[in-house]
Chains A and B, each alone.
Chain A
Amino acid sequence: MKNSKVLIYDGSFNGFLTTVFKAFDEQVQIADIQKNSAAQRGLFSETETVFTQMDKAKRVWNGVQKKSNSAIKNVYFAFLSETKGIELLLYRYIRNMFSTTDMLHLNFTDDTILKISQLAKSVGREKHRMEAFVRFQLTQDDVYFANIEPDFDVLPLISKHFRSRYADQQWLIYDVKRKYGLFYDLNSVEIISLDLKEIHTNSIRKSDAFTGDEYNYQDLWNNYFKSTNIKSRINMKLHTQHVPKRYWKYMSEKKEAV
């Protein structure tokens, strides 16, 4: 029997897919798949670093997609959950899928499959939350700017939504936790990283990075938010269930509550 190996990849989704390709191609006995930033040497297994190769990643992507569209979506979404050990779980998921012709990804009695579909669902929920909770502030140089701090790495998933919605304005959404952002320049979206001096939460303190009208509109919005509440139906539990407190600091209507 061959020794099992720990494969190390660069942390990107394509890197992961390349690793899966290598494992299949060379019939590697996998002990674990780890990001290079968080690699831990196993006591009894050797390690090998895998370099991302787009053509190989693409082949795995196409292979899974051919099996099922919802499966490839599950794989991608679950990967973005950044859950510890997700790589190995996904590797098993993909391996099981290729081992039979059945629509195995619908077998919700299997622990791995159920777990992947639940993780994918959580990431999907976070994506939807970000589409809802992003609050743009208009900067002096005419860019609609927002900071976010999502539970999962959902920026790649929300790009298309914002691109088709705000086609006629420049916007920038920056993930302060993962330190990168999306910038749309009226033509296309690119990934950027910034050296942010301060994190622009929607605080009561005004910053001169933003236009004066910006604060007037925030004021109007906060007023609207208060007026549209029906006091005799108050239900704070439901309120925080829908808008968990960890998101409040980036939402202008909640800035007084933070």
Chain B
Amino acid sequence: MSFERIKEKLNILADAAKYDVSCSSSGSKRTNTNKGLGDSSGMGICHSYTEDGRCVSLLKILLTNHCIFDCAYCVTRKSNDIKRAAFKIQEVVDLTINFYRRNYIEGLFLSSGIFKNPDFTMERLVAVAKKLRTEGNFNGYIHLKSIPGASDELMREAGLWADRLSVNIEVPTISGLKLLAPDKKHEDFTKPMLKVKNEIIQYKEEKKVLKSTPKYAPAGQSTQMIIGATGESDKDIMYSANHYYKNYNMKRVYYSGYVPVAEDSRLPAIGSQVPMLRENRLYQTDWLLRFYGFSISEILNDKHPNLDIDVDPKLSWALRNLNNFPVDINTADKRMLARVPGLGMYSVSKILKARKFRKLNWEHLKKIGVALNRAKYFIICDSHQWEKRDLQAYQIKGMILQNSQGKFRKNYSSQLSLFN
């Protein structure tokens, strides 16, 4: 093959695919039993990190950036004047296998602009996955994009070859979608999602009876939302995410701070800052919901429709609910320990194990790795020294901010810096 031509295509089609956030390569159970290439039974691996600090785990490309749609937020929309290119199926297969053999990647994340119609496009994505599995004997990770509007039959076949499927909902609200992507209907997104969800449920049922039932999307499905393109509140975003977690059994919802790619009066102007801090706060909230036992209405509700920018959502919740504190480290249950600011789930598990041997004091907690600068206002332990002043929420917040540094602090601090 001609490496020069491939290089040109790769540059165009990787550049267009990079706004997809997901790079997860874990959660599959595809072991290398046939002495073939690859194994995706272990944990995910990030093989490299780009200079923006994001993980590179999969070869993330579009099959083509030709597209019949004109979604305002998208870099490959048809009205955008950019270079177009398309890979041949065999080219994607060769690239994936050769990158994989050199230990560059965990597998392939294949998406595409929509050419001709959704089914025509989906068919080609499925063909790549099928070829990798059957001809390439490939057991690496394959993530396929479900094309909005693709038929149920194709979604069924896609799941037989791929490890994960995803449709990006992109705009968290239906009204926002009408504004930015007038050609697409909300149902186009949810229909393939629903099909995949039902197939996964069915696969799990059948597997109980017949162990050799062919795998169906073992790493589940995920979706992605753009943040900061249409003026929605954090509450809108997280309630929407919660909806997809609950009703479509999503493995993950990704939040992607909008990177301006076009001059359009409906969108933030080119050059406006990517809302990275907001994105970070949303991910923190996502984690609180999935791993820390919080319910969404505790963190976001009509009284607090947006997350605090200057402190993380758990600390923010604790400051609003000081009546739950202080918590005694040596007696509190797991649920309550997980709610203490400065305690992560690893620390919680270490505390639960260690306190069986002796009562824990500040020294122990520090060694275990608890962030005491935050936690100390909310806990008591085996020591006579603890915060005895009756502090108000704003006082605690002030002291925590004063004694800590945040990487985003300069974004919202009103204080001028002396140097630089």
Interface residues, chain A, CB within 8 Å of chain B?
Answer: 102, 104, 106-110, 114, 128, 131-138, 144, 146, 161, 164-169, 216-217, 219-221, 223-225, 227-239, 241-243, 251, 253
Q: CB distance B353 to A106 under 8 Å?
A: yes
CB within 8 A of A239: which of B39, B52, B104? B52
| One of B54-62, B65-73, B122-130 at the interface | B54-62
A108 smallest CB distance to B (angstroms) = 4
Total interface residues on B, CB under 8 Å, equals: 56
CB within 8 A of B42: which of A161, A227, A234? A161
* Chain A residue with the shortest CB-CB distance to B367: A114
| One of B4-12, B298-306, B337-345 at the interface | B4-12
CB within 8 A of B53: which of A136, A223, A238? A238
A214 smallest CB distance to B (angstroms) = 8
- B37 contacts chain A at the CB level, 8 A cutoff: yes
CA distance A134 to B51 in the complex (A): 19
| One of B94-102, B187-195, B200-208, B321-329 at the interface | B94-102
CB within 8 A of B102: which of A168, A217, A242? A217
- B116 contacts chain A at the CB level, 8 A cutoff: no
Q: CB distance A228 to B102 under 8 Å?
A: no
A98 smallest CB distance to B (angstroms) = 17
B5 smallest CB distance to A (angstroms) = 11
Q: Which positions 13-71 of chain B face chain A at CB distance < 8 Å?
A: 14-15, 17-19, 31-32, 35-39, 41-42, 45-56, 59-60
* Chain A residue with the shortest CB-CB distance to B137: A168
CB within 8 A of B358: which of A109, A135, A164, A220? A109
Q: With A109-B357, A221-B99 given, can you name 14 additional A-B contacts, CB distance below 8 Å?
A: A108-B364, A108-B368, A135-B102, A135-B104, A220-B7, A223-B10, A227-B15, A228-B15, A228-B18, A228-B50, A230-B50, A233-B257, A235-B53, A237-B407
Q: CB distance B50 to A239 under 8 Å?
A: yes
* Chain B residue with the shortest CB-CB distance to A131: B45
5 example contacts (A-B, Cβ-Cβ < 8 A) are as follows A110-B357, A144-B101, A165-B39, A220-B6, A220-B99
Q: CB distance B56 to A235 under 8 Å?
A: no
Q: CB distance A109 to B354 under 8 Å?
A: yes
A205 smallest CB distance to B (angstroms) = 19
Interface residues, chain B, CB within 8 Å of chain A?
Answer: 3, 6-7, 10-11, 14-15, 17-19, 31-32, 35-39, 41-42, 45-56, 59-60, 95, 98-99, 101-104, 137, 257, 259, 274, 276, 350, 353-354, 356-358, 360, 364, 367-368, 407
B132 smallest CB distance to A (angstroms) = 14
CA distance A225 to B137 in the complex (A): 26
* Chain B residue with the shortest CB-CB distance to A102: B357
A34 smallest CB distance to B (angstroms) = 28
CA distance A231 to B53 in the complex (A): 11
Question: Contacts of A104 on B, CB cut-off 8 Å?
Answer: 357
CA distance A77 to B231 in the complex (A): 50
Max chain B CB contacts within 10 Å: which of A166, A217, A220, A228? A228
B30 smallest CB distance to A (angstroms) = 11
User: Given contacts A108-B354, A242-B55, A253-B48, are A229 and B32 in contact (CB under 8 A)?
Assistant: no
CA distance A113 to B159 in the complex (A): 46
Q: CB distance B101 to A227 under 8 Å?
A: no
B355 smallest CB distance to A (angstroms) = 9
Q: CB distance A135 to B50 under 8 Å?
A: no
Question: Contacts of A136 on B, CB cut-off 8 Å?
Answer: 101-103
B102 smallest CB distance to A (angstroms) = 5
CB within 8 A of B47: which of A110, A114, A132, A216? A132
Question: Contacts of A239 on B, CB cut-off 8 Å?
Answer: 49-53
A71 smallest CB distance to B (angstroms) = 13
B138 smallest CB distance to A (angstroms) = 10
